[in-house]
Structure 1
Amino acid sequence: MKDCVVVGAGAAGLSAALTLGRARRSTLVIDAGRQSNRVAAKVGGLLGRDRRPPALFHAEGRAELLAYPSVELRSGEVTHGVREDDGTFAVTLADGRRERARSMVLAPGTDYRHPQLPGLSERWGNAVFHCPFCHGWEVSDRPLGVLATGAVGVHGALNLRAWSDRITLLTNGGELTDEQRERLAVGGVGWDERPISVLDGPGTDLRAAVFADGDELALGALLVKSTLYQRSSLARDLGASLNEPDEMLSVEAITVDAMGRTGVPGLYAAGDAATAVPPSMAAAVASGYLAGAAAAVQLAAGY
């Protein structure tokens, strides 16, 4: 019986485990190796780790945990979880192993679902991105596009002006309202409502958006609206509530309080899976620390 099992070893999971380890709580971290930012070239906006490769961040985080004998790191995927009648938790891994713990931190990350547009997936995390605060600096002063529709597209395009004065909102066949076009015009942002056939460029770089009619728009990078969904049914299986994605935030997030408590005794959540706002590495580290601290306090109190 562990004190805590942490599902996920991204920024949030590692942060939670470090906090629990320093509180001398026996902690098992289960890592499926599916960190959302593993495809990105650099981490953006994380103090002390700004513009460093994500793989280096995760490797250093895992190495730091090895200094605490109460923390165990294990590769694997949790396929099922249950809260027992005595309030403890049991998880089953894909290889059939079963582990039990007095508390649990869910930090599995989320699946990013973006438009199925040819040329997009291979550039994801590089010339195509979802967070301007994480990637905007690296693409500053290039001609930038925003792939989205409606109010969220207008908002994203106007916000992106901080990084470039050449912004175009691409709706890929969706229609803007007259009011939205006026807002864009006043803000100095262009727009194009034609369907896009492919994103073109060498390797992971972006050269242009090619429209269905054959015309092209030169682009150096593209901000894409994505919707984030839970990777598994674990949160629901354990009785946690989820927020449904809306037009602006587009995150299916586990509902938590300021300390990562889900409302299910002993169950906490952190990172991308538990934020209803656009996620970031910095926010994940902070939420992991808070969830780990809350779990440690609960364990010390004996309930």
Structure 2
Amino acid sequence: MNENHSGTKDCVVVGAGAAGLSAALTLGRARRGTMVIDAGRQSNLVAGGVAGLLGHDGRPPARYYAAGRAELLAYPSVELHSGEVTHGAREDDGTFVLTLGDGRRERARSLVLAPGTDYRHPQVPGLSERWGDAVFHCPFCHGWEVGDRPLGVLATGAVGVHGALNLRAWSDRITLLTNGVELTDGQREQLTAGRVGWDERPVSALDGPGTELRAAVFADGAELALGALLVKSTLYQRSSLARDLGASLCEPDEMLSVEAIKVDAMGRTGVPGLYAAGDAATSVPPSMAAAVASGYLAGAAAAVQLAAGY
């Protein structure tokens, strides 16, 4: 492992989701002394299977991550540690110093941030316990599994209309639930032309046996039969590390509702030696396939920077 006498790593990767594991594999194969620090809070662990990732379609996320960690252990240049990074700083010489929850400190010449994001969705009773199964955020990740059921979309404005129209690829029984927000005449015309129904009443709960979804219950007590529900969620940074280290963030908006770390095509943040990948650094709907690719690019960029000696 490339590590100097002071114990400074070539690179620390924060997060061992798809992006972090991919970045660490790339760095490890480049013979760069790499430490992966992971808090074990990958967002898709609640899902039944990985979706749309070639070679792993349908594989339980926990098994995917276990296989990835096992692959990394074959490289003596990579270390895996459990823990949470609570603070980060960049010293005058460019070295990154990370503080963990247990008080331990790690130093590195470069840093890849891949901590994932937190999903914040409407606080409707019955939603959280069905999240990742009958209630989902991405139709490309879950649409196939719920196809041909009566489907709902819980969202407002243009993003709700867009989501409902897009969901027609998986079912011809789509209802947009605006949760008390009125649609415009133009939006109603779009939905009518697309053969999509809508209901503007407030939603008071989701109901069904166990984690299954049977119906949306409205505030007036009426119900709408549903087999699954697409929910607009906003993704926020899981930690303050990006801000602590001087990286810039995108502000979530109506259509691209992700508070993402701003990066270039190779995962560079603009702060020398600092890279970001995965859900935390994408302003478009996240996916495992995109996370793997972005982790590879960030890892490769970090390896090139290390080889250049700056």
Question: Shorter-chain TM-score: what band?
Answer: over 0.9
Equivalent residue, structure 2, for 1:241? 248
* CA–CA separation in structure 2 for the residues paired with 1:61 and 1:201: 35
Q: Aligned partner of 2:229: which letter?
A: L
Q: 1:52 aligns with which of 55, 59, 77?
A: 59
Equivalent residue, structure 1, for 2:203? 196
Mapping for residues 110-129 of structure 1, pairs under 5 Å = 110-129=117-136
* CA–CA separation in structure 1 for the residues paired with 2:203 and 2:249: 34
* CA–CA separation in structure 1 for the residues paired with 2:50 and 2:146: 14
Q: 2:275 aligns with which of 257, 263, 268?
A: 268
- CA-CA distance at 1:197 after TM superposition: 1.1
- CA-CA distance at 1:35 after TM superposition: 0.3
The answer to whether structure 1 residue 6 and structure 2 residue 3 are counterparts is no
Q: 1:227 aligns with which of 227, 234, 246?
A: 234
**Cα deviations across residues 110-166 of structure 1 (Å, max 9, x unaligned)?**
000000000000000000000000000000000000000000000000000000000
* CA–CA separation in structure 2 for the residues paired with 1:49 and 1:193: 39
The answer to whether structure 1 residue 143 and structure 2 residue 128 are counterparts is no
* CA–CA separation in structure 2 for the residues paired with 1:143 and 1:53: 26
Question: Any unmatched runs of 5+ in structure 1?
Answer: none
Mapping for residues 1-303 of structure 1, pairs under 5 Å = 1-303=8-310
**Cα deviations across residues 9-35 of structure 1 (Å, max 9, x unaligned)?**
000000000000000000000010010
Secondary structure of 1:55 counterpart: helix
Q: Normalising to structure 1: TM-score of the pair?
A: 1.00
Q: Aligned partner of 1:55: which letter?
A: A
* CA–CA separation in structure 2 for the residues paired with 1:203 and 1:87: 52
**Cα deviations across residues 251-276 of structure 1 (Å, max 9, x unaligned)?**
00000000000000000000000000
What's the C-alpha RMSD, in Å, of the aligned pairs?
A: 0.4
* CA–CA separation in structure 2 for the residues paired with 1:36 and 1:269: 17
Secondary structure of 1:5 counterpart: strand
Secondary structure of 1:13 counterpart: helix
* CA–CA separation in structure 1 for the residues paired with 2:185 and 2:84: 49
Q: Aligned partner of 1:189: which letter?
A: V
Structure 1 runs of 4+ aligned residues shifted over 2 Å read: none
Secondary structure of 1:169 counterpart: strand
Secondary structure of 1:179 counterpart: helix
Secondary structure of 2:54 counterpart: coil
- CA-CA distance at 1:182 after TM superposition: 0.6
Q: Aligned partner of 2:102: which letter?
A: D
* CA–CA separation in structure 2 for the residues paired with 1:55 and 1:99: 27
Q: Aligned partner of 1:54: which letter?
A: P
Secondary structure of 1:243 counterpart: coil
- CA-CA distance at 1:213 after TM superposition: 0.9
